Amino acid sequence: MEKEFLQIIQKNQGIIYKVCSLYCDSQDDRDDLFQEIVAQLWKSYPSFRKESKVTTWMYRVALNTAITSFKKSKRRPDQSRLSSQNFQIADENYDTETEESIKLLHKAVKQLSGIEKSIILLFLENKKYEEIAEITGITQNYVRVKMNRIKKKLKKLMVKEED
């Protein structure tokens, strides 16, 4: 069972990295969250009945763990850290306009709620509404409604940031 679990984690670790990157700013926090997600996956693995895809189960556990961690960190006092925004590092290989758009989108996504982050992450992963609904535990129709609201919210946030 352990060997099978480790193979699943190794094959699909990109899912965990994406969730960690979405919910954490610093590398230390991403590493901590990665370990917590793997621990939760291991804890729930014996009860995984294989009625859904392994990736669906992994997303569900990873996102639930990240949202719980995100909520806990919001209750803690502000912990100031140096972020990449504090440094200006030039690289001639970057298209600055595209890079700025990506930073703007990333900053806007960071302002979304936990479930909104989950939905947009899965949407950007080209998951179908049906699979997003299964992973998040909400109805497919509600995913569509939330997705439309999230798109509008992101547009507003990005316009606000440009000003």
* pLDDT tens digits for range 147-156: 999 999 998 9
* Chain CA centroid to CA 28, Å: 16
For residue 132, the domain's CATH number is 1.10.10
Binned at pLDDT 50, 70 and 90, residue 79 comes out as very low
Binned at pLDDT 50, 70 and 90, residue 114 comes out as confident
Q: Which structural domain range is residue 18 located in?
A: 1-76
Is 140 within the bounds of a domain? Answer: yes
Amino acid identity, residue 39?
Answer: A
Q: Kindly state the average pLDDT of the residues 86-98.
A: 53
Query: 99 and 72 share a domain?
Result: no
- Position 28 pLDDT exceeds 60: yes
First to last CA, the chain: 54
Query: 48 and 111 share a domain?
Result: no
114 with 71: CB under 8 angstroms? yes
Mean confidence (pLDDT) of the chain = 82
158 with 151: CB under 8 angstroms? no
Query: 106 and 157 share a domain?
Result: yes
Is 87 within the bounds of a domain? Answer: no
Torsion, Cα 111 140 63 19, to 10 degrees, reads: -70
Is 83 within the bounds of a domain? Answer: no
**pTM listed for this prediction:** 0.62
Please give the tally of structural domains in the chain: 2
Residue 16 Cα distances to 3, 35, 77, 89, 155, angstroms = 19, 10, 26, 28, 27
Query: 64 and 7 share a domain?
Result: yes
Amino acid identity, residue 120?
Answer: I
